[in-house]
Amino acid sequence: MHLSPEDEAFRAEVRAFLAEKLTPDMREEAARSAGVWAEGPLVRRWHKILYEKGWIAPSWPAEYGGCGWGVVQKYIWDSECAAVGTPSLPAMGLQMCGPVIMRYGTPAQKEFFLPRMLSGEHYWCQGYSEPGAGSDLAALQTRAVRDGDHYVLDGSKIWTTHAHYANWIFVLARTHVDTKPQKGISFFLVDMATTGLTVRPILSTSGDHEVNQVFFDGVRIPADNLVGPENEGWTVAKYLLEFERGSGFAPRLGAMIAKVRRLAQDEPQDGERLIDDPDFRAKLASVEAQAAAIAATERRLISALSTGANPGPASSSMLKLSGTEIMQSATELALEAIGAYAAPDFTAARLGKVNWAPGPDHAIPVTARYLNNRASTIYGGSSEVQRNILAKVVLGL
Ligand SMILES: Cc1cc2nc3c(=O)[nH]c(=O)nc-3n(C[C@H](O)[C@H](O)[C@H](O)COP(=O)(O)OP(=O)(O)OC[C@H]3O[C@@H](n4cnc5c(N)ncnc54)[C@H](O)[C@@H]3O)c2cc1C
């Protein structure tokens, strides 16, 4: 990408900052993480460093305390972070709930929640999915019943990422039963310390505790914590999903492919280097070509955004679909590259519970990351759902 002298200077500033602040222990812990986001304590540590620098909210406007960066600066930031492997910070607060509060929140909600989101005092999680409502989110059954100046919440949310670290959750609940399921849903901000709210862990096949089930049993929420009008939460919910699907896949894909290449060069199999195997090289080249197509699409998007154009609703679905599927192919190649070391259980070593590992260091996160990444084509709208959207919006079917 051609950068202006100002953007080159910005990139140099970012590189210097990351070189100074991303300590080897943080980098090591981030490299061993298999989850979508870094573990809670590392999240808090890195969040604080970025907050103190004023760089915690690259996509927020300056008037709310964000960096006010343009799209090119944001792309440089994402690329540099991916290249050095910074801890991945949860999107639920700054990237999802923040824009919703900016758009639909009352002045009092903006004043209370946005600064605490920036500082990290509030750690957010997302209460959308329920045991019977995932892709078909409008089928949700959690109820919120008005009682004086409160609502009383009963029901359950599932797959709630980082609910065990979070102290606030945004929740979709039914405030009115209508013939059309999308009607009568409202959007609430809930303090997780409220009586009647419990969090139970769900362990994933990768060995991580990342997701949970959250139960609401007569949880009383101040009516002031309703965002947008009562019964109009579906509009708010859909606005938030535009931010969940997002972009920025290319830098992470580039970093992952570089890792696969290193593994295939370093890890001998039957005395040969895997990178010299023609079949493996062809598979790697195919993933690289697809990643290059994503990078080109993202750059086209950046260019459109920087001239004020609206890229349309298809872009986020297209990038979510292809970005996650190509990342899955890359994690599969990483698994192939470590050969027999794909089998041992590295969980204790990966989570720092023991100081030895049943194989080389570079193999530690590979299988867990492969397993964890299977979920990426399910969460944030499954691949099938994205294909449905593209069929409708792009192909007009
Ligand atoms: C690791 C992980 C983290 C998550 N984190 C959160 C979170 O923090 N907060 C939150 O609210 N939710 C979270 N989710 C939930 C996620 O959004 C849902 O899993 C997702 O929406 C799919 O819903 P479901 O699991 O109920 O599957 P279902 O909707 O039951 O889907 C089952 C299968 O049917 C397919 N399918 C469903 N409908 C259609 C259709 N119309 N056309 C074609 N195929 C279809 C799906 O693609 C899928 O393959 C998370 C999920 C995972 C796996």
pLDDT tens profile 157-168: 999 999 999 999
pLDDT band with cut points at 50, 70 and 90 for residue 311: low
Q: Tell which atom from ligand 1 comes closest to the C-alpha of 375.
A: 53
Which among 196, 219, 237 is the end of a domain?
237
- 301: CATH: 1.20.140.10
Whether residue 360 is predicted with pLDDT greater than 80 in this model: the reply is: yes
pLDDT band with cut points at 50, 70 and 90 for residue 63: very high
Q: Tell which atom from ligand 1 comes closest to the C-alpha of 125.
A: 8
Residue 166: CB within 6 Å of ligand 1? no
- Atom 51, ligand 1: which residue's CA is nearest? 379
What's the confidence (pLDDT) of residue 271? 78
pLDDT digits (tens, 9 = 90+) for 194-208: 999 999 999 999 989
Residue 385: CB within 6 Å of ligand 1? yes
pLDDT digits (tens, 9 = 90+) for 173-222: 999 997 799 999 999 999 999 999 999 999 999 989 999 999 999 999 99
What's the confidence (pLDDT) of residue 246? 59
pLDDT mean over 285-314: 82
pLDDT band with cut points at 50, 70 and 90 for residue 266: confident
The range of the structural domain enclosing residue 73 comes to 5-89
Q: What is the DSSP string of 304-353?
A: HHHTT----THHHHHHHHHHHHHHHHHHHHHHHHTGGGGSS--HHHHTTS
Q: Is 244 an annotated catalytic residue?
A: yes
203 within domain boundaries: yes
User: Quick one: 60 and 130 in the same domain?
Assistant: no
User: Quick one: 70 and 127 in the same domain?
Assistant: no
Instruction: Output the CA 94–ligand 1 centroid distance in Å.
Output: 22
Residue 161: CB within 6 Å of ligand 1? yes
User: Quick one: 331 and 365 in the same domain?
Assistant: yes
- Atom 25, ligand 1: which residue's CA is nearest? 134
User: Quick one: 15 and 71 in the same domain?
Assistant: yes
Measured CA distances, 65 to 5, 57, 62, 101, 384 (Å): 26, 8, 5, 14, 37
Q: Rounded to an integer, what distance in angstroms lies between the CA atom of residue 52 and that of residue 353?
A: 30
User: Quick one: 255 and 389 in the same domain?
Assistant: yes
Q: Tell which atom from ligand 1 comes closest to the C-alpha of 136.
A: 29
What's the confidence (pLDDT) of residue 299? 83
99 within domain boundaries: no
Residue 388: CB within 6 Å of ligand 1? yes
User: Quick one: 336 and 309 in the same domain?
Assistant: yes
* CA 142-128-203 angle, 5° bins: 105
Residue 126: CB within 6 Å of ligand 1? yes
User: Quick one: 165 and 254 in the same domain?
Assistant: no
User: Quick one: 216 and 254 in the same domain?
Assistant: no
What's the confidence (pLDDT) of residue 137? 95
pLDDT digits (tens, 9 = 90+) for 130-150: 999 999 999 999 999 999 999
User: Quick one: 53 and 154 in the same domain?
Assistant: no
pLDDT band with cut points at 50, 70 and 90 for residue 247: low
Strand-strand pairing, 124-127 and 168-174 = parallel
Instruction: Output the CA 5–ligand 1 centroid distance in Å.
Output: 44
What's the confidence (pLDDT) of residue 333? 97
User: Quick one: 282 and 350 in the same domain?
Assistant: yes
Which among 220, 237, 254 is the end of a domain?
237
User: Quick one: 135 and 186 in the same domain?
Assistant: yes
Whether residue 14 is predicted with pLDDT greater than 70 in this model: the reply is: yes
Cβ neighbors of 24 (< 8 A, separation 6 or more) are: none
Model pTM? 0.94
User: Quick one: 64 and 198 in the same domain?
Assistant: no
